[in-house]
A and B are shown apart, each in its own frame.
Chain A
Amino acid sequence: MNTESSALERELNSEKSRRRRKFRHFADGFTRYGIGAGGLGVIVAISLIFFYLVYEVVPLFQNASIEEIAEYRVDSQQTGEQTLRLVAEEQNEIFARITDAGKVHFISVETGRVLESLSMPLNGQQITSISPTIAGQDTLALGLSDGQVLQIDISFRVEFDDLGNRIGVAPRLSYPYGKEPLQLDVEGRSLNYLTRQKTRDGFVLGGLVAEGKPVILKVRARENMMTGEVTLREERAQLPTDQHYQKLLFSDDHFYTFAARADGKLDVFSSRNLNSIEKMQEAQIVPEGERITQIRFQLGNESLLIGDSLGQISQWIIARTDQGKGPRQLVNIRTLKLGDQPIEVLEPEHRRKGFVAVDSQGRTGIYNTTAENQVIDTYLLDHHPVAAVISPRASLLILEDSRGSFLTYAVDNPHPETSAKSLWGKVWYEGYDQPEYIWQSSGADNDYEPKFSITPLALGTLKAAFYAMLLSVPLAICGAMYTAYFMAPAVRKKVKPVIELMEALPTVILGFFAGLFLAPFFEMHMPGLFALLLLMPLGLVAFGFAWAQLPDKLRYLVPDGWHVILLVPVVLFIGWFSFEVSQPLEVLFFGGDMRSWLSNDLGITYDQRNAIVVGFAMGFAVIPTIYSIAEDALFGVPKSLSHGSLALGATAWQTLIYVILPTASPGIFSAVMIGMGRAVGETMIVLMATGNTPVMNFNIFEGMRTLAANIAVEMGESAVDSTHYRILFLAALVLFGFTFVVNTLAELVRQRLRKKYSTL
């Protein structure tokens, strides 16, 4: 005994066993920590989805920031010169300062050192005016004291050496129409105000002389095909008015001429044909006694930005009044307020629908008009502003004050286009007659105003889900009730997997089926579809009644719970019959062509790929989800309850409705919720079964665009980290959040139900 145990002890304490024990201990710990790490890692990876989506979306709602880079005085050689205009470039390295001495100074942004100074050929004249900045146009016009106009181009080019290394930015001053000035005022009066707009084949100049008398000159440049020589053809025009004006602006191709008066009114002329200019309107921009201080075009030349002495900037476009029924007029679509002081400087952004405004006390605001978003509001200057410029990428702001100080600021303003209003509210876009909900993320040209209203997409999502639930909820829940309570177990064992197989069907197949088969089929057989919806329940009940009239002997041939099989031919027949009578019905009731009947007699738009098709296909996809969960809930109701009810004399139907259904109702509720979660996030079916047009209605004969389908369509073509890209991430986050909340709710309800059952 003793020797035996000592032998065992020896064996256990031997080097080999000890090593083995150690190894086993190590393996156990290793597994514990390895699995712990792996498991937690997976869970972290999954939650990463949420955090990454948030990470991409957050910048949309972050405020813009502005940071001072440098402040420097004007070079001593230049004192006495007045700044007319500042011009910035893409790389934020150099800016140009045009002064009234006829000079262009190129200055380093970082140090304020003058890199190069060039003189313009003025022939001894003074510069009296300069045309206002127009986003996207590089040519500037300078008005001279003898009524002449000199046009210049300031451009910048990044230069590389032979090895392809970047040297720096090289500025260039050029004269696109020659160094010889054009005579704008034939009488040679000094041009106190000057404006320029390009036209299809040249440009148009407008000046104010004497007390504010307008002079207009249109120039068409024609290039000789053979010699390449450019000849200019001049054409003069007159405004039909005796008014004196302070400011003048032409819209694209001189469609309209806007002229501001000293009393705060703006005259609008229709000047498409320069020979017969007509006055259209006299708009009161600011109240009597106030002044219009600045007037500019926003990018795209469609809307006017008007700064006034009240510290407001208002945006005006030409639109039809009376919700699109009235005449075309200049209307105010929004007013933004900076402060109480007059707006002194107004500069449009070059690539976005935004602008910078500075008031007389140096309060500076950066705005986006579409979103009505004031992204920056701060006092940047202590003195009266003289000039300001925002760089083409809107990342650099240069201000000059009346003491001759230059201040440069780095602007970080990546997503001004988003605000709660622009995402969810009605917005009055350029070119529209009233505020609307529109999703149209990109356009053909650069000065396109992106329309990022998520509302039509959210509505489309709900519309699709609604019509899908309309079909699937009754079918799935009724089916679940029958399967759980009436169906024979043998049938149930076969039927349940078949319906659950539906869930495994890829939605791309349902989508293609809906788009390529159902859509044209329903279009051809629309009356049949409605006949089907009507006949199916009636036919089923009628068959049931007829069955009850049969002699018992025959009825007992089919055992209880097998009636489903009996109904297969009935359903097939009703389906076939409904579509067979479709065309006779169409002839009988709809004048032979239901589609044209809908659009002509009822005025309903009809798309081939519409909500009916989506409802069918997506309903089909959702049925198994709802059915399976609801059936589980109903089947799980303890049998003692139904037995008790039946023993008390209730019919089977009463038991189902008054005992089983209420008990299982939380489960059915969660089934519906989960089904809805699925319908909301479904992508392929909607993508293929609708025309993907964002609409704002619940018309069953029209399509829709849902959040999910929108992501699928647009994600590929959106630039990384652009506003559009992030808004698509926002859409994904909304979908994620919605389905997650809905599913969690459903799951909690289900868990409580399970607990309840276990106590029954």
Chain B
Amino acid sequence: MKISMKNWVKSGSPWIWLNAGAVTISVVMVLGLIGLIAVRGLAHFWPADLHQALVTDRSGQQQMILGEQVQVTQITADQLRNAGYQVDEDIQLLERQLFKIGNRDLYGFDFRWALTRELENIEYPRHATVLERREWGNYYGYLIGIKEDGRLIAEQPLGENILWDEAQKRIQRAVGIYWEIYNLERREIGQVNYQLEQLRLAERRHELRGTDTPENLAELAEERAYWNDQYAEMEARLAELYGQFSRDALVMMSADGQRSVIGLHHVVRGFQPNDMNVFQKMGHYFAKLWEFVSEDPREANTEGGIFPAIFGTVMMVLIMSVIVTPFGVMAAIYLREYAKQGLLTRTIRIAVNNLAGVPSIVYGVFGLGFFVYFVGGNLDQLFFPEALPSPTFGTPGLMWASLTLALLTLPVVIVATEEGLSRIPRSVREGSLALGATKAETLWRVVLPMASPAMMTGVILAVARAAGEVAPLMLVGVVKLAPNLPVDGNFPFLHLDRQFMHLGFHIYDVGFQSPNVEAARPLVYATALMLVLVIAVLNLTAIAIRNRLREKYRALDM
């Protein structure tokens, strides 16, 4: 049926379409954002093909580059002209490409823009090699020789690949030693250092209490001697490992013909992406993904993994939920079951409700002022005077971060639990009371079990909110790089006073505070994806529980 424009407008349909459009736009934006983050975050680990090309820049200089193509975009000719390029009058748009060329030690930067028209002889050389290094970023080039103890033991001309297997073997060996050293340094020497620090504090404690008798001091000295011996022993082992570690080196040549000798103690892995088939690439992909979730960050957080951040986030959220659950539930029970339902209770309820809308940074300020400086400062005076002037609890740390976030999420738990309690029909409570149960028994045996899904929902929502909150944490305990995890093998195992890393803060720090944002960008996307996943899973769980709960009470209402 044809309809005239006038009638169509009169019926209000344009407005309805616009309204529908608003919904669509919102949905597209959400899904688009998540999709974009997922694509960019996950694509990063795929070994991209290496392009080799001859670039002629605007001053006429030629350079052979080898690297991954990162981006291809259009740019208007005028922007180039404004930047000083010579562009013909009749050209309006030009294409340009961004390459990751690595070799920061040689070139000074690892990314390079080039106009497509400046590129010549684009090739995908089979034996182009990528070395992932612990410093200076990736190396792109060709293997031409292997050195052992500084002597050249094998050589191959450019274009051949006979040494690759041998090189891989030696890389594996070096990586093995790396982990040995890592374990020794982190675990064992870390433990010795911790014990020595404890002894120093013990001595100071004796001094402060006036119990620094010769016997006590002698005891400490004995212990210290023991740990110092241990330390010396490990030191020797470490020196030996380091000696072996730097035995091998690869002689490499970059695309523009510069030779470098790269010690294998710097190399994390080497691969030749142009020579890999799909399955090899998938293997590489999952290895990188695993490294991302399980290892420590490298190179000012722009490479490597995010394990400490994941661990810190989870730890903080766990401690927070342990604090927030009992208190939130208790407050909700009080408000709903025990408090007299009058103006005051209603006011309190509104106030609690509104606290959920108070900016999180305000909680951070409160946490810093009250918990860290006031409570923490006093705790230090009372219980840790031996460590002063360096603070133990009077400085941002895991405990204060958890407490601050517990306070922040308290309203969420209270509101959810109260809602659950209010949904329980009166008849159920009255039935229990009529059978002779006391109020406490009714509460404990009847009401709480029925309200438990609501509590769970509240706690999960609180956890989801806490996991994503960054602003208050910046004030009360998060750091860009924590030297130790908050949990380790030294008594008391859980170190509440330590600072920790956090996924959300990691995103902020790497994306905005790091010296090499371009290189870090893909990792930021991957980290963001990780955080979105954690939070989406938590929220979906909460929604599922909420739905189940509603079903349950629908039956009861009958």
Contacts and interface: CB of A to CB of B under 8 A. Distances in A.
Interface of A: 24-25, 27-28, 30-32, 35-36, 38-43, 45-49, 52-53, 56, 474-476, 478-479, 481-483, 486-487, 495, 497-499, 501-502, 504-513, 515-517, 524, 536-537, 540-541, 543-545, 548-549, 551-552, 563-564, 567-568, 570-572, 575, 583-584, 586-587, 591-593, 596, 620, 623, 627, 651-654, 657, 674, 677-678, 680-684, 687-688, 708, 711-712, 715-716, 720, 728-729, 732, 735-736, 739-740, 742-744, 747-748
A479 B339 contact: no
Nearest to A619: B29
Nearest to B467: A506
Contact of B78 (A475, A591, A739): A591
A735 B359 contact: yes
A748 B469 CA distance: 28
Interface in B512-555: 512, 517, 521, 524, 528, 531-532, 535-536, 539, 543
A509 B369 CA distance: 27
Interface string B193-217: 0000000000000000000000000
A583 B76 contact: yes
Interface in B59-79: 73-79
B19, B327, B474 — which one has the most chain A CB atoms within 10 A of its CB?
A: B19
Interface stretch (B174-182, B243-251, B328-336): B328-336
Interface string B139-156: 000000000000000000
Contacts of B30: 498-499, 501-502, 505
Nearest to B442: A28
B82 interface: yes
Interface stretch (B8-16, B108-116, B378-386, B423-431): B8-16
B284 to A, nearest CB: 26
6 contacts: A35-B333, A39-B334, A512-B508, A549-B3, A623-B26, A681-B358
B504 interface: yes
A709 B194 CA distance: 38
Interface of B: 1-3, 5, 8, 11-31, 33, 36-37, 73-79, 81-82, 92-93, 326-328, 330-335, 337-339, 348, 350-355, 357-366, 368-370, 373, 407, 410-411, 414, 438-441, 443-444, 464-465, 467-471, 474-475, 504-505, 507-508, 511-512, 517, 521, 524, 528, 531-532, 535-536, 539, 543
A712 B474 contact: yes
B481 to A, nearest CB: 16
B362 A732 contact: yes
Contacts of B471: 683-684, 687, 708, 712
A614 B79 CA distance: 25
Task: Output the residue of A506, A567, A591 with the most chain B CB within 10 A.
Answer: A506
A593 B75 CA distance: 10
B366 A592 contact: no
A596 B512 CA distance: 26
A35 B78 contact: no
Contact of A563 (B20, B370, B467): B20
Contact of B511 (A502, A688, A732): A688
A571 B24 contact: yes
A548 B3 contact: yes
Given A32-B338, A572-B28, A507 B468 contact: yes
Nearest to A596: B82
A571 B21 contact: yes
A39 B353 contact: no
A536 B17 CA distance: 11
A708 B364 CA distance: 10
B204 to A, nearest CB: 14
Nearest to A587: B92
B37 A27 contact: no
A748 B343 CA distance: 13
B21 A583 contact: no
A507 B470 CA distance: 8
A620 B25 CA distance: 11
Contact of B92 (A478, A501, A516, A592): A592
A42 B327 contact: yes
Given A30-B440, A475-B25, A541-B14, 8 more contacts: A31-B444, A48-B370, A478-B21, A502-B26, A505-B30, A513-B528, A735-B362, A739-B357
A544 B359 contact: no
Given A28-B439, A504-B464, A584-B92, A720 B373 contact: yes
A593 B93 CA distance: 11
A747 B354 contact: yes
A575 B33 CA distance: 14
Contacts of B465: 504
Contacts of A517: 36
B362 A712 contact: no
A541 B474 CA distance: 46
Contact of A35 (B1, B338, B524): B338
A479 B19 contact: yes
B504 A508 contact: yes
Contacts of A537: 18, 21
Contact of A46 (B5, B407, B532): B407
Contacts of B13: 544-545, 548, 653
A543 to B, nearest CB: 7
Contact of B76 (A39, A592, A736, A743): A592
Given A31-B439, A681-B359, A653 B11 contact: yes
Given A42-B328, A732-B361, A476 B19 contact: no
Nearest to B11: A651
A620 B29 contact: yes
With a 10 A CB-CB cut-off, give which of A501, A677, A729 has the most chain B CB atoms: A501
B22 A478 contact: yes
Contact of A587 (B73, B78, B370): B78
B369 A536 contact: no
A512 B440 contact: no
A504 B468 contact: yes
B20 A653 contact: no
Contacts of A715: 364-365, 368, 475
A508 B468 contact: yes
Contacts of B79: 592-593
- Counting from the closest, the 10 A-B pairs by CB-CB distance are A592-B78, A39-B334, A681-B359, A653-B12, A506-B468, A544-B17, A478-B22, A31-B440, A482-B19, A38-B330
A517 B33 CA distance: 11
A382 to B, nearest CB: 44
Contacts of A739: 354, 357-359
Contacts of B464: 504
Nearest to B524: A512
Given A46-B410, A583-B74, A687-B508, A509 B17 contact: no
A483 to B, nearest CB: 6
Nearest to B372: A720
A570 to B, nearest CB: 8
A147 B555 CA distance: 106
A495 B339 contact: no
A726 to B, nearest CB: 10
B346 to A, nearest CB: 9
B440 A49 contact: no
